[in-house]
Structure 1
């Protein structure tokens, strides 16, 4: 019930007030585990992407600081979000992430690890690619545009969902992690570039 109420409210806010534009919903698999990999500009990103995915609930791995505000923490928990400690290997969060994938759920991980308060993409950390390689889970690249300024709206607000990138299950060496990160980063950048070209 909490999820349905929160989703209805956020749908009104994002689609009704902020006029959120979503592309690529047809690329979201109807079932099965997948890692959703968006760029990160704002604390609004988890619920924003959550409403963009209208058929599935994304179970986010998000920094534990977001849960300090009890109201916001409750809201993002309704979208399947669970905390991860930054700056160290959080084995509890990793085990939870693997459980979500084994259950066939979409798992959301921000590859940049934190909000990037500037134009463009930041450095990708190893977590998303390592987890994908360890489990052989495909990755869904997602580009978020305009969330950096929320709750103010400056320019277009959009969530662009790319096609799934298949990942072969194998040991996540530094080389394989870097290669996969670059591939996903390139696809997110391409989604942004194509959208900007279209609206220019």
Structure 2
């Protein structure tokens, strides 16, 4: 009940009030593990992407600092979010991420690792690609446009969902991680560029 009410409130906020536009929902598998890999501009990104993925609940890895506030920590745990320590290899978070994927859940990872305030995408870290390789989980690239200024809307506001990118299960190495990161980053940039060409005059 709590989840349904919260989602209804967020749907009203993002779609009705702020005019969120979503493309590519047909690319979301109804079942099975996926890694959701969006760009990151705002604290609003997780709930925005959450309502865009209307038929799945995304379990996010989130920096442990967000859990220091007891109420907010409790709140985001209700949606399957779990903490990860940044700047070090967090084996507990990795094991939890693998459990989520083995259970067939969507796992949300921001490849840039943190919010990127400048235009364009930041450097991709190794976590997203490494987990995909370790588990053989397909990756869905996601482009979020216009979230940086929320709750005020300035210009287009959209979530663009790409086709799943299959990943073969194998031991991660630097070359494979870079190959996957470059592929996903390129797909996100291409979706952004195409959307802007069509919608920004």
TM, length-normalised to structure 1: 0.97
Q: Which residue of 2 aligns with 1:123?
A: 123
- Find the aligned partners of 1:91 and 1:179 in 2 and give their Cα distance: 24
C-alpha distance in structure 1 between counterparts of 2:134 and 2:65, whole Å: 27
1:6 touches 1:75 (CA, 8 Å); kept in 2?
no
Deviation of 1:68 after TM superposition, in Å, equals: 2.8
Q: Provide the rounded CA distance (Å) in 2 between the counterparts of 1:139 and 1:12.
A: 28
Give the secondary-structure state (helix, strand or coil) at the position aligned to 1:133: helix
* Partner Cα distance (1:53, 1:167) in 2: 21
Partner of 1:40: 40
Q: Work out whether 1:179 is the aligned partner of 2:163.
A: no
Are residues 68 and 157 of structure 1, via their aligned partners in 2, closer, same or farther at CA, if it must alter by over 3 Å?
A: farther
Distance, in Å, in 1 between the alignment partners of 2:70 and 2:16 is 26
Q: Tell me, what secondary structure is at the counterpart of 1:26?
A: helix
4+ runs deviating over 6 angstroms: none
Residue 82 (structure 2) aligns with: 82
Gaps of 5+ in 2: none
Q: What are the superposed Cα offsets for residues 74-119 of structure 1, whole Å, 9 maximum, x if unpaired?
A: 4433322111111111111100000000000000000000000010
Residue number in structure 2 paired with 1:11: 11
Coordinate RMSD, CA, aligned:
1.0
The whole-number CA distance in structure 2 between the counterparts of 1:78 and 1:159 is 23
Q: Would you say how many aligned residue pairs link Structure 1 and Structure 2?
A: 200
Query: What does residue range 90-101 of structure 1 map to in structure 2 within 5 Å?
Result: 90-101=90-101
The residue number in structure 1 matching 2:190 is 190
Question: Where does residue 146 of structure 2 map in the other structure?
Answer: 146
Task: Give the equivalent residue in structure 2 for 1:21.
Answer: 21
**TM-score when normalising by structure 2:** 0.96
Bigger mean CA offset, 168-177 vs 58-67: 58-67
**Shift of residue 67 of structure 1?**
2.3
Report how far residue 4 of structure 1 moved. Answer: 0.8
Q: Distance in 2 between matches of 1:24 and 1:68?
A: 35
